[in-house]
């Protein structure tokens, strides 16, 4: 060979070398990018969804089971009530109930004070709406003066108003007539599928973050006690770990869910309380080998407390394998939550989750609307694959033998 590639010689601590090695791994970068995209949409939530109603649960039965790429003309009819407007943070977290209800139409025309339209999918019958009732929240009936072409009405706050027909028609066409586009189509209730997918991502990512946090807290605490103190305490903790380890994870989660009840937070706790065992075993094994090192004995000789030695000198040296396990546990938590929701004992309607969406739509797989079940299934596959790939990349990056060689 004429040219020989110079071997990269990293410098710094082992941890900094491991993180730099991780960040130059293409697979890790792609995985982080995918996870970031999911997190971005989950945090943005209702600010990014076409349907910003709570739980993305706006049902328009006239446009049910429409294919991806579907678009339709909508009339936005003002509700005859006052809907409280939320600030941007509240809207992002819990959505915003719309001041309008939407009616899908084929076409429309004006007739005096009325908007005459054909409902979407119905080309025979025509319906009509009073134009003032479409534009404003009114109280009672309206009065139309045909000679002067003026509509008089009373708003819900009790004030009387007048508006000309020409002004009302102009406002209607500018503000109350909208073209709606459904990127992934609609379900059997006419709900926007992509909006429910985005809000459903919140459940999966939240279960992952919170359950991993619970498993780390319990696992590191019990593993540290067992590995550092040993003796009788180690035997008791290991007996408890083996008992929990012997029970199938899904069955244990189902049992905890039944004990705590069905719901959003119950799933987090149930999944978190079943994933700490592997963390505890790894932490225990690592601490048992590290506590015999010279710098730990030096800490004892200097009179440091057990808590300080564990916190400052032992745990930082066992976090690398724990981080790798956490990535795998994150993926497992997403799958467990999806399984629980599919069985009907996870997140409850109307809150969307990917597992409950698959349960709700799986019968459409044999019909011509298989995409309803495939879309949440593909989302689960992509996110789980991203976390598993990141876990594998982290395992390679934090491999002690490879780091020592470099």
* Coil/strand/helix, residue 109: strand
Per-residue burial over 14-50, b = 16 or more CB atoms within 10 Å of its CB, e = otherwise: eeebbeebbeebeebeebbebbeebeebbeebbebbe
Residue 123, pLDDT above cutoff 70: yes
Residue 16, pLDDT above cutoff 80: no
Parallel, antiparallel, or unpaired: how do β-strands 70-78 and 114-119 relate?
Answer: unpaired
- State the helix-helix crossing angle for 249-260 and 264-272, rounded to 10 degrees: 140
Residue range 233-284, pLDDT digits in tens = 999 999 999 888 888 877 888 888 778 777 777 787 888 888 888 899 999 9
* Long-range contacts at 117-120 (CB < 8 A, ≥ 24 apart): 117/75, 119/62, 120/62, 120/63, 120/72, 120/73
- In this prediction, residue 398 has a pLDDT band, given cuts at 50, 70 and 90, of confident
Write out the residue limits of the CATH 1.10.3720.10 domain(s) in the chain: 193-405
Residue range 219-236, pLDDT digits in tens = 999 999 999 888 899 999
Residue 400 has a pLDDT of: 54
**Mean pLDDT of all residues in 47-75:** 93
**Mean pLDDT of all residues in 329-350:** 86
Q: What is the DSSP letter of 399?
A: -
Residue 405 has a pLDDT of: 56
- In this prediction, residue 399 has a pLDDT band, given cuts at 50, 70 and 90, of low
Of 36-40, 41-45, 292-296, 376-380, the poorest mean pLDDT is in 292-296
Order across the sheet with 127-130: list the strands.
Answer: 127-130, 114-119, 100-111, 70-78, 177-182
For 12, phi then psi, to 5°, come to 110, -170
- In this prediction, residue 8 has a pLDDT band, given cuts at 50, 70 and 90, of very low
Residue 246 has a pLDDT of: 85
For 151, phi then psi, to 5°, come to -105, 130
User: Residues 6 or more apart from 230 whose CB is under 8 A from it?
Assistant: 288
Please compute, for residue 288, the number of CA atoms within 13 A of its CA located in the half-sphere on the CB side: 12
Of 46-50, 72-76, 163-167, 319-323, the poorest mean pLDDT is in 319-323
**Other C-beta atoms lying within 10 Å of the C-beta of residue 402:** 13
Residue range 294-323, pLDDT digits in tens = 888 888 888 888 888 888 888 887 877 888
- In this prediction, residue 2 has a pLDDT band, given cuts at 50, 70 and 90, of very low
Residue 4, pLDDT above cutoff 70: no
Residue 5 has a pLDDT of: 44
Residue 1 has a pLDDT of: 41
CB 80 within 8 A of CB 156: yes
Please compute, for residue 398, the number of CA atoms within 13 A of its CA located in the half-sphere on the CB side: 18
**Whole-prediction pTM:** 0.85
Tokens standing for residue 124? 């025979």
CATH code linked to domain 193-405? 1.10.3720.10
Residue 35, pLDDT above cutoff 60: yes
Tokens standing for residue 226? 């067992």
- Tokens 């479409």 belong to 134
Residue 15 has a pLDDT of: 66
Cα–Cα–Cα angle for 126, 132, 137, rounded to 5 degrees: 115
Phi-psi region of 115 (alpha: psi -120 to 50; beta: other; left: phi over 0): beta
**Mean pLDDT of all residues in 78-84:** 86
Residue range 125-137, pLDDT digits in tens = 889 999 999 999 9
CB 373 within 8 A of CB 362: yes
Q: Share the mean pLDDT of the chain.
A: 86
Residue 18, pLDDT above cutoff 90: no
Q: What is the DSSP letter of 49?
A: -
Residue 56, pLDDT above cutoff 80: yes
For 191, phi then psi, to 5°, come to -90, 145
Per-residue burial over 152-184, b = 16 or more CB atoms within 10 Å of its CB, e = otherwise: ebbeeeeeeeebebeebeebbeeebbeebebeb
**Mean pLDDT of all residues in 159-184:** 92
């Amino acid at each position: 060979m004429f040219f020989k590639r110079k071997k990269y010689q990293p410098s710094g601590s082992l941890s900094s070398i491991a993180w730099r090695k991780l960040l130059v791994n293409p697979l890790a970068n792609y995985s982080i990018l995918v996870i970031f995209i999911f997190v971005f949409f989950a945090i943005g939530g209702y600010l990014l969804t076409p349907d910003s109603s709570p739980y993305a649960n706006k049902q328009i039965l006239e446009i049910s089971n429409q294919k991806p790429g579907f678009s339709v003309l909508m009339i936005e009819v003002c509700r005859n009530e006052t809907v409280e407007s939320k600030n941007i943070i509240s809207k992002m977290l819990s959505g915003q109930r719309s001041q309008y209800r939407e009616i899908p139409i084929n076409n429309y025309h004006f007739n005096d004070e009325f908007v005459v339209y054909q409902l979407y999918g119905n080309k025979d019958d025509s319906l009509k709406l009073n134009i003032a009732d479409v534009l404003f929240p009114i109280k009672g009936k309206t009065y139309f003066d045909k000679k002067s072409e003026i509509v008089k009405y009373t708003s819900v706050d009790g004030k009387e108003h007048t508006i000309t027909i020409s002004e009302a028609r102009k406002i209607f066409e500018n503000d109350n007539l909208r073209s709606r586009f459904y990127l992934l189509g609609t379900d059997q209730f006419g709900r926007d599928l992509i909006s429910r997918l985005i809000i459903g991502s919140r459940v999966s990512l939240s279960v992952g973050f919170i359950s991993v946090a619970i498993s780390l807290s319990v696992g590191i605490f019990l593993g540290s006690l067992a590995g550092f103190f040993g003796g009788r305490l180690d035997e008791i903790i290991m007996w408890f770990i083996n008992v929990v380890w012997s029970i199938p994870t899904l069955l244990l989660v189902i049992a905890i869910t039944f004990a705590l009840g069905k719901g959003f937070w119950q799933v987090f706790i149930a999944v978190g309380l079943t994933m700490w065992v592997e963390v505890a075993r790894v932490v225990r094994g690592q601490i048992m080998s590290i506590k015999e090192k010279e710098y730990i004995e030096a800490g004892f000789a200097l009179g440091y407390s057990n808590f300080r030695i564990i916190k400052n000198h032992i745990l930082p040296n066992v976090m690398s394998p724990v981080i790798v396990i956490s990535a795998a546990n994150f993926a497992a938590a997403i799958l467990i939550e999806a399984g629980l929701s599919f069985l009907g004992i996870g997140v409850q309607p109307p809150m969307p989750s990917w597992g409950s969406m698959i349960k709700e739509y799986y019968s459409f797989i044999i019909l011509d609307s298989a995409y309803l079940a495939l879309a949440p299934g593909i989302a689960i596959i992509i996110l789980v694959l991203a976390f598993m790939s990141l876990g594998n990349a982290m395992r390679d990056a934090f491999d002690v033998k490879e780091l020592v060689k470099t």
